[in-house]
Amino acid sequence: MTDSFMHQLNEDVNLFVEERDWGLFQTPKNLSMALIVEAAELVEHFQWMRPEESDSLTNNKKKKVAEELADILIYTVRLADRLGVDLEQSAKDKLTKNRRKYPVEKARGKATKYTEL
C-alpha cells in the first residue's frame, strides 16, 4: 500500500486490534463472517423502504448507515491485511476488469449483467 488514506486506516485498525489483543480471534474466517453480519445490519436500514425513500434518508438514518458502512470498511481492511491483499491495487484491478466487462457503449443506462450485454 502507498502512503494514503487506506494505508493509514490499515495502521489504525491494526493498532486498535493489537491494543485489545484481538488478533487471535480475527482470523480470515471470523473476519469474513463479521463482515457479512455488518452487511446484513446495513441492509436492515433499507428493508421495506420504497426505492425513493432509500434516496432521501433522514440525517439520523444516514448517521446509522454511515456507522454500518464504516464497520464494513474496517472489517474489509482488516481481512485484506490478514490475507496479505493489497486492497488499493485489488480495487484498481477490479475496476479495470469491470470496464472490460461493462463497456460504456453497451452498458450505459442498463442494469444488465455483463453476460447479457
10-41 pLDDT tens trace: 999 999 999 999 999 999 999 999 999 999 99
More confident residue, 116 or 44: 44
pLDDT average, residue stretch 38-65:
97
Please give the model's pTM, rounded to 2 decimal places: 0.88
Q: Rounded distance, CA 60 to CA 69, Å?
A: 14
Q: Quick one: pLDDT at residue 114?
A: 86
First to last CA, the chain: 35
Residue type, 102: Y
Rounded to 10 deg, the angle between the 5-20 and 87-101 helix axes is 130
- The topology under which CATH files domain 5-85 is Helix Hairpins (1.10.287)
Task: Band the pLDDT of 116: cuts 50, 70, 90.
Answer: confident
DSSP 8-state assignment for residue 45: T
pLDDT average, residue stretch 65-71:
98
80: burial class by Cβ within 10 Å (0-12, 13-18, 19+)?
A: buried
- Which residue, 13, 31, 22, 21, is CA-closest to 79? 31
The sign one gets for the Cα dihedral 98, 99, 100, 101 is positive
Domain ranges in the chain? 5-85, 87-117
Q: Quick one: pLDDT at residue 26?
A: 97
What does the pLDDT look like over 72-104, one tens digit per residue?
Answer: 999 999 999 999 999 999 999 999 999 999 999
